[in-house]
Amino acid sequence: MTGSKMTTMTLEEMRAARERGESQSDWKRVRRMVQDGVEPAEDDATPNAAALMRADLKTRCRGRPVGTDNKVQVSIRYHREVLDYFKAKGNGWQAQMDKVLLDWVRTHSTKES
Domain that holds residue 39: 25-59
Residue 81 lies in a domain: yes
The answer on 80 and 53 residing in a single domain is no
28-48 tens-digit pLDDT = 888 898 899 887 777 777 777
The answer on 48 and 77 residing in a single domain is no
Residue 67 lies in a domain: no
If one counts the domains in the chain, the total is: 2
The answer on 109 and 76 residing in a single domain is yes
75-99 tens-digit pLDDT = 999 999 999 999 999 999 999 999 9
Strands (E) across 8-96 are located at none
Q: What is the dihedral of CA 14, 25, 62, 67, to 10 degrees?
A: -60
Average pLDDT over residues 47-65: 79
Last residue of a domain, one of 35, 59, 83: 59
